[in-house]
Chains A and B, each alone.
Chain A
Amino acid sequence: DAKTTQPNSMESNEEEPVHLPCNHSTISGTDYIHWYRQLPSQGPEYVIHGLTSNVNNRMASLAIAEDRKSSTLILHRATLRDAAVYYCILLFFGSSNTGKLIFGQGTTLQVKP
């Protein structure tokens, strides 16, 4: 499985944008980039995913580097509710690993009021 590298922790101020980086230098051409987050004492929840193009949804934006070796999850205006552990995960299209989310340690985001 291709690996991802994320900073252990980040801090942000409320109502400011947050850029969460993820390095995945061994990504292959058909690996999808997924982001999940885990709020305290809850199960993980889906945030966003993409393959090559930048993606937007109501929760966040995903910016993918042109060479796909890194990506950035962007929270446009952080709220206290966004304090969570954010996981960047690669899923290979079409392999036996279909559906298996391989979690690393993620980035713990702290949001200050």
Chain B
Amino acid sequence: NAGVTQTPKFQVLKTGQSMTLQCAQDMNHEYMSWYRQDPGMGLRLIHYSVGAGITDQGEVPNGYNVSRSTTEDFPLRLLSAAPSQTSVYFCASSYRGGTTDTQYFGPGTRLTVL
């Protein structure tokens, strides 16, 4: 099991550019989510999905899009990058997102927007 994988590990963008952060899991988990972590802060939820074809907004969704066409993949799209989106992005998955389900996190993507 590779667990939760994220690509790329590092990315530098210019303001206004778009890009997609990739997230994949091989544990057949229904629930997947994206968080961002700013320096010295806890993680904040961006978007989440309870299964293929179903997504919903988290705490800080503005400027990001997601889709879930397969159980394994949950990409995060930045439509027009802004310096305020400079952060470390973590993807997570769990069996069904239940309150006793363990959430597994990926290693993160460190994004800098100039």
Contact = CB atoms under 8 A, between A and B. Distances in A.
B107 interface: yes
Nearest to A90: B99
B48 A43 contact: no
Nearest to A103: B42
Contact of A101 (B4, B103, B108): B103
Interface in A11-62: 32, 36, 41-46, 49
Contacts of A81: none
A105 interface: yes
A100 B107 contact: no
A44 B43 contact: yes
A43 B91 CA distance: 9
Interface of A: 32, 36, 41-46, 49, 87, 91-94, 98-106
B105 A106 contact: no
Interface residues of B, number: 30
Contacts of A41: 108
Contact of B48 (A36, A91, A94, A99): A99
Contacts, number: 62
Contacts of B107: 42-43
A105 B45 contact: no
Interface of B: 4, 31, 33, 35, 40-45, 48, 50, 58-59, 90, 92, 94, 96-108
Contacts of B40: 105
Given A43-B90, A44-B43, A105-B41, A98 B106 contact: no
Given A103-B42, A104-B42, A98 B103 contact: no
B99 A101 contact: no
A92 to B, nearest CB: 7
Given A44-B105, A94-B99, A99-B97, 5 more contacts: A43-B90, A46-B102, A99-B31, A99-B99, A101-B45
Contact of B50 (A36, A99, A101, A103): A99
A106 B42 contact: yes
Contacts of B94: 99
